[in-house]
Amino acid sequence: MFSNLIYFNKEKYSYPDPDKLQEKLSSISTISASDDNKYVVFPGFCDIHVHLREPGFSYKEKISTGTAAAAHGGYTAVCTMPNLNPVPDNLPHLNEELKIIEKDALIKVYPYASITVGELGYELSDFDALSDHVIAFSDDGRGVQTEDLMREAMIKAKSLGKTIVAHCEVNDLLNGGYIHAGNYAKKHNHLGISSESEWKQVERDVKLADETGASYHVCHISTKESVDIIRDAKMSGVDVSCETAPHYLVFTDSDLEEDGRWKMNPPLRSADDRKALIQGIIDGTIDCIATDHAPHRDDEKSRGLKNSAFGISGIETAFPILYTELVMKKIIPLDRLIELINDNPRKRFGIPSLNDYSVWDISSKYKIDSTKFISMGHSTPFEGMEVFGRCLLTVCDGKTVYKIK
Ligand SMILES: [Zn+2]
pLDDT score at 16: 87
CA of 56 to the centre of ligand 1 (A): 18
Mean pLDDT of 247-264: 98
Task: With a cut of 80, say whether residue 221 has pLDDT above it.
Answer: yes
Beta strands in 95-158 (DSSP E): 108-111, 137-138
Other CB atoms within a 10 A radius of the CB of residue 125 amount to: 27
pLDDT for 340-352, tens place per residue? 999 999 999 999 9
Q: Is the pLDDT of residue 31 over 90?
A: no
Mean of per-residue pLDDT scores for the chain: 96
Q: What is the pLDDT of residue 268?
A: 98
pLDDT band at 324 (very low <50, low <70, confident <90, very high): very high
CA 285 – ligand 1 centroid, Å: 19
**Residue 37: pLDDT over 90:** no
* CA–CA–CA angle 312, 371, 264 (5° rounding): 10
pLDDT-based confidence at 196, cuts 50/70/90? very high
**365 Cα to the center of ligand 1, angstroms:** 31
CA-closest candidate to residue 227, choices 271, 292, 281, 165: 281
Q: How far apart are CA 397 and CA 395, in angstroms?
A: 7
pLDDT score of 35: 78
pLDDT confidence tier of residue 223, bands split at 50, 70 and 90? very high
The residue with greater pLDDT, 11 or 32, is 11
pLDDT of residue 17: 87
Distance 46 CA to ligand 1 centre (A): 17
Rounded CA-CA distance 113/135 in Å is 8
Q: Which residues contact 299 (CB under 8 A, 6 or more apart)?
A: none
**Cα(138) to centroid(ligand 1), Å:** 9
Q: What's the gap in Å between 226 CA and the centre of ligand 1? A: 15
259 tagged catalytic: no
DSSP track, 204-259: HHHHHHHHH--EEEE-S--SHHHHHHHHHHHHTT--EEEEE-HHHHH--GGG--SS
Spacing, Cα 174 to ligand 1 middle (Å): 14
What's the rounded Cα separation, in Å, for the pair 136 and 154?
11
Q: What is the pLDDT of residue 295?
A: 98
Average pLDDT over residues 116-127: 98
Which whole number is the average pLDDT over 222-240? 98
Q: What is the pLDDT of residue 32?
A: 81
Give the model's pLDDT for residue 106: 98
pLDDT tens readout for residues 155-179: 999 999 999 999 999 999 998 999 9
Q: What per-residue confidence (pLDDT) applies to 33? A: 77
**Is the pLDDT reported for residue 338 higher than 80?**
yes
CB 25 within 8 A of CB 55: no
Ligand 1 mean position to 20 CA, how many Å?
A: 40
Q: How far apart are CA 377 and CA 299, in angstroms?
A: 10
User: Has residue 190 got a pLDDT over 80?
Assistant: yes
Cα 111 to middle of ligand 1, angstroms: 15
Q: What is the mean pLDDT of residues 78-88?
A: 98
Q: What pLDDT, on a 0 to 100 scale, did the predictor assign at position 321?
A: 98
Q: What is the mean pLDDT of residues 94-118?
A: 98
The band of 3, judged by pLDDT with boundaries at 50, 70 and 90, is: confident
Asked if 345 contacts 286 with a C-beta cutoff of 8 angstroms, the reply is: no
Kindly state the average pLDDT of the residues 61-86.
98
**CA–centroid distance, residue 86 to ligand 1 (Å):** 18
Q: Of 89, 139, 292, 343, which one is the catalytic site residue? A: 292
Determine the distance separating the centroid of ligand 1 and the alpha carbon of 140, expressed in angstroms: 5
Mean pLDDT on 12-21 = 89
Model confidence at 34: pLDDT above 80: no
Q: Which residues 6+ apart lie within 8 Å of 337 measured at CB?
A: 289, 322, 323, 326, 327
Report CA(336)–ligand 1 centroid distance (Å).
Answer: 24
The whole-number average pLDDT for the span 336-361 is: 97
The answer to whether residue 30 scores a pLDDT higher than 90 is no
* pLDDT more than 90, % of the chain: 92
Rounded CA-CA distance 216/152 in Å is: 13
Query: What local confidence, expressed as pLDDT, does residue 29 receive?
Result: 85
